[in-house]
Amino acid sequence: MTQLRPLARAALLLLLTTSLTACATDSAHARGKKAKKRTSKSIKLTERIVDLNGPITDGMTLKAQSKLYKLDEASHEPVWIRINSGGGSVQAGLILLDTMKALKSPTRCLVESKAYSMAAILLVFCDERYALDHATIMLHEASFGLQGEDPTNRSRMDFITKYLDSIHVEIAEILDMKVDAYRAKLRDAWWLLADEALKSRIIDAIVTHIEYESGITKTTETKTTRTYSESRQEAPAKKPQIPKRR
């Protein structure tokens, strides 16, 4: 009997260990499935798309601004902004940012390849933010230069810096971060992969499937029927011919 007790205890301990391991494995699998559901998303793109490809310049901003206004005038359905940009002009980007804020249509952003610098700021201010799995994002302290020896250049730089500081405060609030912690990230440039951007709340989800839907923007044609009335004129009465003299 005395020899059986240690064996029974060992068997019981082994059974408990196996059960706890199985529970932990099941819990890990459950967490993994939950995380997968949370990070991956299928989106449906429509014809209401504005593409930001390449450097952000005055010309790009002008084209994008014009299209945004036209789409917003047509309807207030969501507008997609598709970004593949390494950044560019701060002033041009700020014009586009203010245009986005003024729209009645909600903005949804998809980063396909990269969104750096000013392009990343535009991403953060969209109502919904998505990125493909291998997209990269970078935020940093804005750097800009002014040419020439105009004495007002210094005051212009101070003004733009002050304006950008207020924008960074807004971004910190959007990301639910303390301003000091956010600015510390920007000090040496904040580079993020898609999953890191998701954890930092810069994007809402990583896109794993895209569908395309056409015919969202409806145009109404007004047909006008015109009726033409023809007025018939009677043939003029023939004048009596005078007989020629013979």
Q: Which residues belong to the active site?
A: 117, 140
Cβ 176 vs Cβ 201: under 8 Å: yes
Cβ 116 vs Cβ 84: under 8 Å: no
Which residue bears the tokens 């007790």? Answer: 5
- Residue 107 CA, chain-centre distance (Å), reads 6
217 Cβ partners below 8 Å, 6+ apart? 47, 48, 71, 74, 75, 77
Alpha-carbon dihedral sign for residues 181, 185, 186, 192: negative
Cβ 42 vs Cβ 211: under 8 Å: yes
Alpha-carbon dihedral sign for residues 158, 163, 167, 170: positive
Cβ 85 vs Cβ 114: under 8 Å: yes
DSSP type of residue 56: B
- Give the Cα separation of 218 and 71 in Å (integer): 11
Q: Where on the phi/psi map is residue 58: left (φ > 0), alpha (ψ -120 to 50), or beta?
A: alpha
- Give the Cα separation of 120 and 169 in Å (integer): 15
